[in-house]
């Protein structure tokens, strides 16, 4: 076994001087390095402005974004574009534009545009089931609306209303009803059409129902039965 001499031990202790600290010495050194006692102290939290949302926030170190969400959004390069359908400005990423999308601001605008294009391609005589623009609805003959003023947004218009408007030379009012005199809803001759208001039209139907009942269902007098 080899032992160190006193002279050798003295040299080692001198070389390690200042490197070996006790627990109490470390604690005091740590206290001197906290807060404004630290040489790198810059006054605590500093106010910064987020580069993405322009929101002010406090941070101990230098930061460019207030949250991870803003940092993630900043990595996505977006371009301002104009919606083809509603003409509204919106932001879209370059990845979406490279795929050929990013034309509409929302799915609703895209669906409306597609629906309108489909309608324009299969409406009218372009439809293989086209039958001349005439149909029957609850016994009434209806025609395609074309360029009618009082159509109310419907696809078909009753033909008897068009004939009545052409006869009087003006559009029918909202409270005007066209009545079929003989009760045949498909008979749209001028002599069979009567223009009236809603009140008179209800009274007229009630009167016709009463006369029909009296003629067919009420018991006949005794002298007529014999």
Q: pLDDT-based confidence at 33, cuts 50/70/90?
A: low
10 Å Cβ neighbour count for 41? 11
Q: pLDDT-based confidence at 15, cuts 50/70/90?
A: low
- The 10s digit of each residue's pLDDT in 111-130 is 888 877 766 666 666 776 77
Measured distance CA(92)–CA(97) in Å, rounded: 7
What is the separation, in whole angstroms, between the first and last Cα of the chain? 157
Q: Domains of the chain: which residue ranges?
A: 46-75, 80-121, 134-216
Measured distance CA(102)–CA(88) in Å, rounded: 13
Going along 114-155, which residue ranges are E strands?
Answer: 134-137, 140-144
Q: pLDDT-based confidence at 178, cuts 50/70/90?
A: very high
- The 10s digit of each residue's pLDDT in 51-65 is 888 888 888 778 888
Cβ-Cβ contacts under 8 Å for 124 (sequence gap 6 or more): 130, 133, 144
Measured distance CA(158)–CA(186) in Å, rounded: 10
What percentage of residues in the chain have a pLDDT greater than 90?
Answer: 8
């Amino acid at each position: 076994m080899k032992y160190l001499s006193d002279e050798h031990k003295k040299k080692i202790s001198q070389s390690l001087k200042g490197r070996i600290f006790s627990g109490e010495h470390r604690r005091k050194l740590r206290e001197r390095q906290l807060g404004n006692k630290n040489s790198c102290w810059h006054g605590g939290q500093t106010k910064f402005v987020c580069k993405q949302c322009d929101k002010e926030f406090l941070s101990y170190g230098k930061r460019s974004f207030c949250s991870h969400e803003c940092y993630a959004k900043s990595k996505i390069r977006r371009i301002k574009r104009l919606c083809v359908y509603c003409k509204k400005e919106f932001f879209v990423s370059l990845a979406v534009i490279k795929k050929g999308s990013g034309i509409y601001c929302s799915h609703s605008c895209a669906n409306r545009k597609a629906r309108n294009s489909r309608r324009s391609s299969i409406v009218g005589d372009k439809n293989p089931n086209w039958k001349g623009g005439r149909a029957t609805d609850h016994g009434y003959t209806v025609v395609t609306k074309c360029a009618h003023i009082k159509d109310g947004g419907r696809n078909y218009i009753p033909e008897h209303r068009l004939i009545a408007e052409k006869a009087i030379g003006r559009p029918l009012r909202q409270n005007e009803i066209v009545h079929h005199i003989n009760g045949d809803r498909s008979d749209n001759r001028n002599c069979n059409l009567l223009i009236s208001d809603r009140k008179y039209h209800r009274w007229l139907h009630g009167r016709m129902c009463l006369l029909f009942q009296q003629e067919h269902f009420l018991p006949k007098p005794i002298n007529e039965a014999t």
